[in-house]
Amino acid sequence: MKQIFTVIITLGLTLGTFAQNVGETPPDFSLNDLSEMKYILSDNKGKVIMVFLVGYNCPYCISSARDVKTQITDVYANNDKFHAVVIDVWDGSKSSVQGFKSSTGLDAIFLQKGSGVASSWSTTYDRLFVIGSDGKVVLKGTKNAKSQVSDAKSAIQTALNNIVTSAPLLSDNSGLELTQNYPNPVRDETKISFRISKASQVNLSVFDITGRMVAAPIRDFYESGEHDLVFRRNDLKNGVYFYRLQAGSFEAVKRMVIQ
């Protein structure tokens, strides 16, 4: 009996060592997707990652997946800074995981044989996690995924906003300068000015608050010097937007409001 008790204590300490909380870096993992390609968590630092832990034929997970799809994966499907990752922690066959994907319609990266992730993360199936671009947990699911979809979406949006707003306004003062649009807020149209130090291919893109690109007013080659653009809102809805200028190896981001 004493030996059994000792084993239980040892196991508890081990789980406590691997367990992570909000603000901590979760244990890394390397799992095969449905194309048998390796997906390594730590290799995707810099992206916001939602992890949905499921059992391949768990009815609760399938029910939760409907809300995950409509509120999260459908919303952020075109955001290159976001990954939706579904991990089967029941270690089902490849066809079983493929069946879960087909039945739910989730637009996500599906990973196989993930029971080790559930163990090292001290969690279970039908749970949501959100990992920020710095590789740290910003949401740890403690209840069924269906009840925490809204919390997860809020955590994802905040983490994505942090990527955009933390981007350097000037990558190099001698290489690129992007001014604040004027007027701001924008009613019908606004002027955006920029300066580049050498002739470059210039791309100017506008993104909504979810990170979806909604306009690309510049895709052209520009000579060095100062340049102006009149940007018209057209059918863009009221809200907060970000415009990003790329010229050669330089990049700058600014925020504008349409109302």
Among candidate residues 143, 165, 187, the one where a domain is terminated: 165
For residue 225, report the phi and psi dihedrals to the nearest 5 degrees: 125, -165
pLDDT beyond 60 at 31: yes
Same domain, 46 and 141: yes
In a domain, 124, yes or no: yes
Are residues 24 and 141 in contact, defined by beta-carbon separation less than 8 angstroms? no
In a domain, 47, yes or no: yes
What pLDDT was estimated at residue 188? 92
Among candidate residues 165, 187, 205, the one where a domain is terminated: 165
What pLDDT was estimated at residue 102? 96
Strand partners, 82: 48
What pLDDT was estimated at residue 163? 73
In a domain, 128, yes or no: yes
Same domain, 186 and 140: no
Same domain, 186 and 144: no
Q: Which one is predicted more confidently, 198 or 149?
A: 149
In a domain, 171, yes or no: no
Residue-wise pLDDT for 211-237, tens only, equals 888 999 999 999 999 999 999 999 899
Do strands 137-140 and 127-131 pair parallel, antiparallel, or not at all (unpaired)? Answer: antiparallel
Same domain, 152 and 245: no
Q: Residue 53: CB partners within 8 Å, gap ≥ 6? A: 87, 89, 114, 117, 118, 121, 123, 124, 125, 126, 127, 128, 129, 141
Which region among 81-85, 105-109, 248-252 has the lowest average model confidence (pLDDT)? Answer: 248-252
Tell me, what CATH number does 101's domain have?
Answer: 3.40.30.10
Q: Considering its fold, how many domains does the chain have in total?
A: 2
What pLDDT was estimated at residue 217? 92
Same domain, 83 and 197: no
Among candidate residues 108, 136, 165, the one where a domain is terminated: 165
In a domain, 145, yes or no: yes
* 3-state SS record for 146-195: HHHHHHHHHHHHHHHHHHHHCCCCCCCCCCEEECCCECCCECCEEEEEEE
Same domain, 92 and 126: yes
Q: Which one is predicted more confidently, 211 or 7?
A: 211
d(CA 222, CA 218) in angstroms, rounded, equals 10
d(CA 226, CA 194) in angstroms, rounded, equals 6
Same domain, 123 and 246: no
Same domain, 222 and 139: no
Same domain, 112 and 210: no
Tell me, what CATH number does 222's domain have?
Answer: 2.60.40.2360
Same domain, 147 and 183: no
pLDDT beyond 70 at 166: no
Nearest to 194 by CA among 255, 243, 241, 245: 245
Same domain, 157 and 180: no
Q: What is the dihedral of CA 206, 134, 30, 36, to 10 degrees?
A: 0
Residue-wise pLDDT for 175-211, tens only, equals 788 888 899 889 999 999 998 888 889 999 999 887 8
pTM for the complete prediction?
0.63
Q: Which one is predicted more confidently, 85 or 162?
A: 85
Number of Cβ within 10 Å of residue 160's Cβ equals: 22
Same domain, 28 and 78: yes
Domain that holds residue 192: 176-258
d(CA 37, CA 224) in angstroms, rounded, equals 44
